[in-house]
Homo-oligomer: A and B are copies of this chain.
Amino acid sequence: MSDTGIKRRATVHDVARTAGVSLATVDRVLNDRPGVRAATAEKVEAAIAEIGFRRDISASLLARARDLALTFIIPDGTNEFMASLTDAVTRRAGQALSDRMNIETLRVRALDADALAQSLDGLDPRECDCAIIVASEEPSVVAAVDNATRRGIMVMTLVSDLPGSLRRRFIGIDNVAAGRTAASLLGRFMPMGGKLAVIAGSLHLRDHADRLKGFQAGLTAEFPQLELIGPVEGHDERPQTEAIVTDLLRRHPDLGGLYNLGAGNAGLVRALEGSGRSGQIRVIAHELTEPTRKGLHSGAIDVVLDQNPDGEIREAIEAARTLALDANGTAITDPIEIGIFLRDNLR
């Protein structure tokens, strides 16, 4: 087979010729501008489908003569996971620049719905094409998301979703599945049965509640021989979690497993190592951060379930880029996987 012809991608000119309309009309259809009869628009759509035209993102961004502006709004505070999310954004921002994307990060007070809503309301559609937020489930946030959407700012949710709002996409893991996974591992780690304690941050947090739900369901279905203690709430704080774990260890000398589905892992590790029983109890925690890494290395923690902040940021950026130019876009984005880390496959 001799391939003589040089392959050329279809352009707007080809669409115009095929549809038998002018370039201006094609442009109006492509960019949802008014002044096109429905029948004409259909002709154009048909031509697009026929010749397989795909808008050239490079040229499109170039012609817009400005960058795609993304704004990440991330909870502030001492939460290490949020810090690593922010780090990931910063890291990506650099290389995103040469892809005509300008990324800004805003941090708002954690768990302060009104602060989040205000930040959203304060975004200028001329300076922000897409906002990516770690949502908390409050009416004021839903209203702010919907309002932003109406002003022309696309909103996506990260880590924690906001169903019922006009958010365009959710990027995060399935927390029920994460809880089930923890149950499945701990069950296999304790084939002889025994006692198993659960610690949560706060059951008012949607992701924590989901994890607990999955965990309990998994245990009941697969490992009924295990005796469940808790959940106890540690409010995601180091000292409180440390106290709780210390107390659990004291009261249950035969404790075989521990699942911390919230944060406060520095306290968890301290309590375990302080007890002298580190390594004898199978422990699962969440999020690959400094304390959990240390725990994995020392053997205090067996497994860490992780939602891969870097991957989430990558997906968010990619989704925003695609959606921004193709409103009814069918962007292929990878589902965020639940990462499972042992000491042996630490990245």
Complex-state Cα separation, A171 to B184, whole angstroms: 31
Question: What's the nearest-Cβ distance from chain B to residue A118, in Å?
Answer: 17
- Chain A residues 33 to 74 lying within 8 A of chain B, measured CB to CB, are 54-59, 61-62, 67
In the complex, chain B residues whose CB is within 8 Å of the CB of A334: 310-311, 314
* Cβ-based interface call for A225 (8 A): no
- Chain A residues 4 to 22 lying within 8 A of chain B, measured CB to CB, are 7, 9
Complex-state Cα separation, A327 to B122, whole angstroms: 41
In the complex, chain B residues whose CB is within 8 Å of the CB of A188: 188-189, 282, 302
In the complex, chain B residues whose CB is within 8 Å of the CB of A100: 56-58
Quick one: which of A55, A61, A92 has the most chain B CB within 10 A?
Answer: A61
Q: Which residue numbers of A lie inside 8 Å of B, CB to CB? A: 7, 9, 54-59, 61-62, 67, 91-92, 94-95, 97-100, 102, 177-178, 180-181, 183-185, 188-192, 214, 218, 282, 302, 308, 310-311, 314, 322, 331-332, 334-335, 337-340, 342-345, 347
Complex-state Cα separation, A74 to B211, whole angstroms: 40
Question: What's the nearest-Cβ distance from chain B to residue A31, in Å?
Answer: 15
Closest 3 CB pairs of A and B: A58-B58, A340-B340, A180-B344
Question: What's the nearest-Cβ distance from chain B to residue A334, in Å?
Answer: 6
In the complex, chain B residues whose CB is within 8 Å of the CB of A91: 332
Complex-state Cα separation, A249 to B310, whole angstroms: 43
Q: What are 30 contact pairs spanning A and B, CB under 8 A?
A: A7-B102, A56-B100, A57-B100, A58-B58, A58-B61, A58-B99, A58-B100, A59-B62, A62-B62, A95-B322, A95-B332, A177-B344, A180-B344, A180-B345, A181-B342, A181-B344, A181-B345, A184-B343, A184-B344, A185-B342, A188-B282, A190-B191, A191-B192, A192-B192, A218-B344, A308-B337, A314-B334, A335-B347, A337-B339, A339-B339
Complex-state Cα separation, A35 to B347, whole angstroms: 45
Complex-state Cα separation, A99 to B56, whole angstroms: 6
Question: What's the nearest-Cβ distance from chain B to residue A61, in Å?
Answer: 5
Complex-state Cα separation, A92 to B190, whole angstroms: 42
Question: What's the nearest-Cβ distance from chain B to residue A312, in Å?
Answer: 12
In the complex, chain B residues whose CB is within 8 Å of the CB of A67: 9
Cross-interface CB contact of A9 among B57, B97, B177, B190, cutoff 8 Å: B97
